[in-house]
Amino acid sequence: MQIKTIIEPFKIKTVEPIFMTTEEERKVFLKNAHYNPFLLTSEQVLIDFLTDSGTSAMSANQWSGIMNGDESYAGAKSWKRFEKTINDLTNYPFILPTHQGRAAERILYGHLGGKGKIFLSNTHFDTTRANIEFSGATAIDCLTPEATDTSLELPFKGNLDTKKLVQNIEKFGKENIASVILTVTNNSGGGQPVSMENAKEVSKICKNYGILFILDACRIAENSFFIHEREKGFGDKTYKQIVQEMFSLADGCVMSAKKDGLANIGGFIALRDKELADACTNLLIITEGYTTYGGLAGRDMEAIAIGLEEVTEPDYLKYRIRSTAYLGEKINKLGVPIMLPVGGHAVYVDAKKLYPQIPVDEYPGQALVCELYLKGGIRCVEIGSVMFGKYDENGKLIPAPMELVRLAIPRRVYTQSHIDYVIEVFEEILRTKNKARGLKIIQEPKFLRHFTSYFEQN
Ligand code: F0G
């Protein structure tokens, strides 16, 4: 008999307590946090779906790697292991360790960017966009129109729209395109995967125009699972081979190791071109550290190297993708509108559809974020007009294309009963959905406003 239930492919060795709270207590906590869950303390949270970044539970193997970390300033054996593992996956010769993904972005895009430069991507993640704009350059998303229809079930909704890509290259001139960035999976576009075919097309276009092609690879293992399942010709390949093939199409990558590196901190830049690597190395030494540790301790490099090997293991990836799909399928069945199909690291709720009574300039996504915290102590993040909205010259909101709420699932952290609890909270969210209220922003910074803005309930 074939047992169909997919179980967590691990036993729990160390546990961390969750502090129970009541709705009454959470009302006070949320008010004091100005209706922005980023400003809550973790002890005030029951289920933390704020991010899958840096929140993974490490394996016993990774913890033993931590003890083996070589903290030598130069040429540590942990660096050699880190370099070899990344080289084996990417086949890029130049590897620059950074303390996390955005440090890699600041170095690479800061160097490539500047006034008049254009970056093109399926969707720039918020830190990617912020680093590009901070350099004076412009970031343009080229997502396919289908991608913003949350109910449309297509296999690769993270794909970059190659027509829009070519149009933008022609419009701005190839000499002004600093690079094309393919984000796999497409985090801000709903955690949707990118097909190998699309990556090949993008690669071809970049080669034809002589434009640098960079992968934002922080969830490339999860992306490989979808290619294995959904794309013709990949069912017999290993996840690692698929990852390697995708890297082979690009000129380099930035990667936050806090996602598919299964580590709590870390990142890197990996490049083919020596001249570009040299320029980045200069910046690395100024702000991150010497070339063989960058922004990392030796023990971090050990944990990342081991994590990058564990992340393409079939049992792990099957459990990972299945457990995300479990949450998405169950709440969708209850009637919660979500981004379909469910992506790899998160379930995205379509808050505009859930709360049609709340206009976009009253942030329906933020309203749901607050409701989930109040009703269930669940913390998650708005990915909509709070995160990506801009103002026109009259101060009117230019809304984001979608009003999503992301329930990002930390890797190897929560069990099925935690997820069942979340599903029950959604039943309550549906029962009380007509009572949900919008919010207004009363204080905001210039960049990345979702982190620190203060809100008031209308
Ligand atoms: N690129 C993508 C696609 C990301 O999702 C992130 C981080 C980064 C770059 C930056 O990496 O955090 O190590 O500096 N995403 C986190 C998230 C923060 O919650 O999705 P970092």
Out of 3.40.50.2000, 3.90.1150.10, 1.10.10.10, 3.40.1670.10, select the CATH number for domain 23-52+313-457. Answer: 3.90.1150.10
**CATH 3.90.1150.10 in the chain, residue ranges:** 23-52+313-457
Compute CA 309 distance to the chain's CA centroid, rounded to the nearest angstrom. 19
| Whole-prediction pTM | 0.95
Nearest C-alpha to atom 4 of ligand 1 is from which residue? 125
Rounded to the nearest angstrom, the distance between the alpha carbon of 87 and the centre of ligand 1 is 22
What residues are in contact with ligand 1 under a 6 Å CB criterion?
51, 53, 100-102, 125, 127-128, 183, 187, 216, 218, 256, 258, 267, 408
Give pLDDT, residue 126: 86
Rounded to the nearest angstrom, the distance between the alpha carbon of 5 and the centre of ligand 1 is 31
Residues of the chain with pLDDT under 50: none
40 vs 58: CA distance, rounded Å = 24
Give pLDDT, residue 388: 85
Give pLDDT, residue 306: 98
Give pLDDT, residue 70: 98
162 vs 160: CA distance, rounded Å = 6
Give pLDDT, residue 335: 97
Rounded to the nearest angstrom, the distance between the alpha carbon of 101 and the centre of ligand 1 is 6
372 vs 378: CA distance, rounded Å = 5
Q: Are 318 and 6 spatial neighbours (Cβ–Cβ below 8 Å)?
A: yes
Please choose from 258, 348, 387 the residue to mutate so as to test ligand 1's pocket, defined by most ligand atoms within 8 A of CB. 258
373 vs 120: CA distance, rounded Å = 35
**CATH 3.40.640.10 in the chain, residue ranges:** 60-310
Q: Which atom of ligand 1 is nearest to the CA of 266?
A: 13
Tokens encoding 27: 């009302």
Rounded to the nearest angstrom, the distance between the alpha carbon of 403 and the centre of ligand 1 is 19
Phi, psi (rounded to 5 degrees) for 316: -65, -50
Q: Which atom of ligand 1 is nearest to the CA of 104?
A: 14
pLDDT digits (tens, 9 = 90+) for 193-228: 999 999 999 999 999 999 999 999 999 999 999 999
Give pLDDT, residue 224: 98
Phi-psi region of 136 (alpha: psi -120 to 50; beta: other; left: phi over 0): left
Give pLDDT, residue 191: 87
Rounded to the nearest angstrom, the distance between the alpha carbon of 278 and the centre of ligand 1 is 25
% helix, strand, coil for the chain, step of 5? 45, 15, 40
Q: How far is CA 295 from CA 13, 17, 266, 269, 287, in A?
A: 29, 30, 8, 12, 8
Pairing of strands 454-457, 397-398: unpaired
Domain 60-310 sits in CATH 3.40.640.10 = yes
Q: Which atom of ligand 1 is nearest to the CA of 219?
A: 3
Rounded to the nearest angstrom, the distance between the alpha carbon of 51 and the centre of ligand 1 is 9
Q: How far is CA 321 from CA 127, 237, 368, 410, 453, in A?
A: 25, 18, 24, 12, 32
